Amino acid sequence: MTNYSLAKEFYASRGIDTEAAIQRAALIPLSIHCWQGDDVGGFEGGSLDGGLAATGNYPGKARNVDELRADIEQSIALIPGPKRLSLHTFYADTRGKKVPRDEIAPEHFDNWIEWGKAAGVPLDFNHSYFAHPFSADGLTLSHPDKKIREFWIRHGKASRRIADAFGKAFNTRCVNNCWAPDGYKDTPFDRVAPRERLLDALDQVFAEKLPNQLDAVECKLFGVGCESYTVGSHEFYMGYAVTRQKLLCLDVGHFHPTETLTDKISSVAPFVPGVLLHLSRGVRWDSDHVVTFTDDLLATVEQALNVMPADRIFLALDYFDASINRIAAWAIGARNVRKAMLAAFLQPRGILAKAEDGFDFSTRLAVQEEAKTYPLGAVWDEACRRASTPLDGEWMAAVKQYEKNALSKRK
């Protein structure tokens, strides 16, 4: 018997259908983030700010849109399951023309749409309120200078129209995320006025009804340069998402290091139209490390997929590591998330629910612990085979070959 046959029998003895689990996991898209390929550089020639930093100098960073797309294609070939690609505004393919961010338009992403259709990869989007001269003060949508604030409001409106064009082109609603890095390094005198300005600016940004995109708003605890006060805190954006009925974006690295997203998902689910999860790995701070196969990841994905219906939960990657091969970084994180999806559907839910409903918490804990060593690997290998994707232990060879043939030649 094969390893998968043995695993299938094992899971069946616990009331778990591995075939159903593989099929369910294979239907869930994962939005891959383009910015892992060039360390959040984009094509404007600016430098990072807003508390963002990409550390490391591994050779082979994508230097232009063609190299970035080639790297993405190599990466998605190593990742099973349906993929989407998440873009930021400053990845516009403007063919060398300088286009201000408040004038960016769908036409500047025509080549991305063409690429996405050819690759079978629909596009998601993000407003970009950082890495720009008008974000140098640490404030954008909450800036006290009306001219700067209005520039960013126009940018937000333009970003939504681009996302709407994506949704229309791919016949699937584009998830469009709004995160602004606004905050202060030291204790502010006035905590109210910036949030009032942000509230008003967001209402203006979201005023136009655009049916082919889904708006998400993203909170953050703090960032480098805004350690003492973040305008768009968790409480602010949770209130905004509930009252304006927007998706709430929860980023793994945007909370206190001892917090997890596990409880937050089911807590906000009754009140918002959906949740966007940005999956990364914060170490001490929002350091955006590559996603690893941790208990936190398993718990987060399990809650996401088993608490909320598929049309209300959106999974996306958000990290950038320049210290290792960037193709490997993409593949490691994405494969771990997809493996966690499969694990979520291989939980002994019947046994656990019966024990919990009967207040048999001893059995519940025992089964939860035993499930950690169920033969997930054999089912994962089978899922990869069916997706014509390299197995664990095999895919790094393709990364090394690509590094030799392409990345090593970039100087």
Task: Give ∠ CA 291-334-369 in degrees, rounded to 5.
Answer: 60
Among residues 164, 215, 218, 321, the one annotated as catalytic is 218
Q: What is the DSSP string of 137-205?
A: TS-STT-SSHHHHHHHHHHHHHHHHHHHHHHHHHTSPEEEEE----EESS--S-SHHHHHHHHHHHHHH
Q: Six-digit token pair at 229?
A: 């006060």
Assign residue 74 a region (left: φ > 0; alpha: ψ between -120 and 50; beta: otherwise): alpha
Distance between CA 149 and CA 152 in Å, rounded? Answer: 5
Please name the residue that has the structure tokens 């009032």. Answer: 196
Do the beta carbons of residue 387 and residue 22 sit within 8 Å? no
Is residue 295 flagged as an active site residue? no
Among residues 93, 124, 215, 286, the one annotated as catalytic is 286
Q: Six-digit token pair at 110?
A: 């025509």
- Greatest alpha-carbon span in the chain: 70
Distance between CA 315 and CA 284 in Å, rounded? Answer: 23
Distance between CA 128 and CA 218 in Å, rounded? Answer: 12
Task: Give ∠ CA 283-380-337 in degrees, rounded to 5.
Answer: 30
Short-list 117, 99, 199, CA closest to 159: 99
Burial of 112 (0-12, 13-18, 19+ CB in 10 A): buried
Among residues 33, 108, 155, 220, the one annotated as catalytic is 220
Is residue 259 flagged as an active site residue? no
Is residue 218 flagged as an active site residue? yes
Q: Please, what sign has the CA dihedral across residues 5, 11, 16, 20?
A: negative
Alpha helices in 206-325 (DSSP H): 234-244, 262-268, 295-307
Is residue 251 flagged as an active site residue? yes
Residue 225: how many other CB atoms lie within 10 Å: 14
Is residue 234 flagged as an active site residue? no
Distance between CA 324 and CA 141 in Å, rounded? Answer: 34
Among residues 44, 71, 215, 288, the one annotated as catalytic is 288
Is residue 209 flagged as an active site residue? no
Is residue 66 flagged as an active site residue? no
Among residues 8, 33, 132, 254, the one annotated as catalytic is 254
Is residue 9 flagged as an active site residue? no
What is the phi/psi pair of residue 345, to 5°? -90, 0
User: How long a stretch of residues is the chain?
Assistant: 411
Give the containing element (helix H, strand E) for 276.
strand 275-279
C-alpha 146: how far from chain center = 31
Among residues 39, 93, 251, 302, the one annotated as catalytic is 251
Is residue 179 flagged as an active site residue? yes
Active site members:
179, 218, 220, 251, 254, 278, 286, 288, 318
